[in-house]
Amino acid sequence: MLLVTCLPLPGTAGNNPQAIEYRFGVFPYLSAVRLEEIYAPVSAELARESGLDIHFRTSSTFERFFTRLKQQHYDIALIQPFWYPPAVDKFGYLPLVRMEEPLSSLIMVLEDSPLQTVADLKGTVIATPPAFVPVVHMARRALLEAGLVPDRDVQLRAFKSVDSCFQQLLIGTASACIAPPFAPAVIMEKMNVRLRVLLETPSIPNLSVVVHSRLPLEQREQLKDIFLSWDRNTPGQKLLKTIKTRAFVPAVDAEYDAVRTFLRDIRKE
């Protein structure tokens, strides 16, 4: 699994791109089982339309996925916004597309929760995905702006994934859960539960698909065109529905300057 290049070995694939396995890595924002249900068909459609041998991959933890991203293990990768700057600025990846919707952070509660305002969170436990993901930092900042100091007025407890974060909400060990906007619909469908938004933060650019610069320009442009076409055809629309986005749009590097600024600000805090 630690092979870091998709280039063919001498005497094997030669110049035939169909003989190369391309890894489409998806960062583990949901359980591996749920991600495979969503993104294995995405990989299959990318393979069908491009003629390339593309396979879905993920990892058991955010840390392991980021390590593999740093090792340039993935040829194509769907990543969270905070990983865009290192992936593009340091790891040899290039921007391809991003989800059309901006990314905000949601603090979610059960629909019948007695909590009605952010102030009501004082003295409670909020479950979160791994502590270094963007939505957690965005929510922390929003709590501070609302006068609630994390680890003093409210306790943030990090869990392995968004799924496990919401599980804590369901079993009653947490009063709220921090999540990205595309997660609640998946959770409500999967866990048969109703949720509501207690707080939504200002937004930053959403999840992006990056592609390693080792892929030829022709293949990169072909993959980009495929992602961008999905909101205009039936198979693509079905995939977008499962991903929980309206469409993919071109990823523009300058848009992620806001993320670079956010990261610099976090380091100063």
Same domain (yes/no): 123, 185 = yes
Residue 222 dihedral angles phi and psi, to the nearest 5°: -65, -45
Same domain (yes/no): 88, 113 = no
Phi and psi based region of residue 170 (left: phi greater than 0; alpha: psi -120 to 50; beta: remaining): alpha
Using only C-alpha atoms, what is the Rg of the chain? 19
**95, amino acid identity:** P
Question: What pLDDT does residue 262 have?
Answer: 85
Give the model's confidence band at 17: pLDDT under 50 very low, under 70 low, under 90 confident, else very high.
low
Task: From 182, 200, 218, give the residue that closes a domain.
Answer: 200
Q: How far is CA 154 from the centre of its chain?
A: 26
Q: What is the pLDDT of residues 60-100, one digit of tens each?
A: 888 999 999 999 999 999 999 999 999 999 999 999 999 99
In a domain, 8, yes or no: no
In a domain, 182, yes or no: yes
In a domain, 5, yes or no: no
- What is the model's pTM? 0.77
Q: Which one-letter DSSP state was computed for residue 150?
A: B
In a domain, 254, yes or no: yes
Q: Does 2 score more than 50 pLDDT?
A: no
Same domain (yes/no): 113, 180 = yes
What is the rounded CA–CA span in Å between residue 87 and residue 228?
21
Same domain (yes/no): 179, 255 = no
Mean pLDDT, all residues of the chain: 90
What is the rounded CA–CA span in Å between residue 218 and residue 221?
5
Same domain (yes/no): 185, 250 = no
Same domain (yes/no): 183, 213 = no
Task: From 159, 181, 200, give the residue that closes a domain.
Answer: 200
Q: What is the pLDDT of residues 135-194, one digit of tens each?
A: 999 999 999 999 999 999 999 999 988 889 999 999 999 999 999 888 888 889 888 999
Cα–Cα–Cα angle for 100, 250, 139, rounded to 5 degrees: 40
Long-range (24+ apart) CB contacts under 8 A made by 143-152 are 143/118, 146/118, 146/119, 146/199, 147/119, 148/118, 148/119, 148/121, 148/122
Task: From 200, 218, 237, give the residue that closes a domain.
Answer: 200
In a domain, 146, yes or no: yes
Those residues with Cβ within 8 angstroms of residue 266's Cβ, 6 or more apart along the chain or in another chain: 137
Domain of residue 246: give its range.
17-102+205-268
Same domain (yes/no): 122, 93 = no
In a domain, 9, yes or no: no
Same domain (yes/no): 55, 122 = no
Same domain (yes/no): 116, 74 = no
| CATH number for 211 | 3.40.190.10
Question: What is the domain count for the chain?
Answer: 2
Same domain (yes/no): 188, 209 = no
Q: What is the largest CA-CA distance in the chain?
A: 66
Q: Does 10 score more than 50 pLDDT?
A: no
Same domain (yes/no): 190, 224 = no
Same domain (yes/no): 190, 210 = no
Between residues 212 and 162, the one the model is more confident about: 212
In a domain, 156, yes or no: yes
Give the model's confidence band at 50: pLDDT under 50 very low, under 70 low, under 90 confident, else very high.
very high
In a domain, 10, yes or no: no
What is the rounded CA–CA span in Å between residue 144 and residue 241?
34
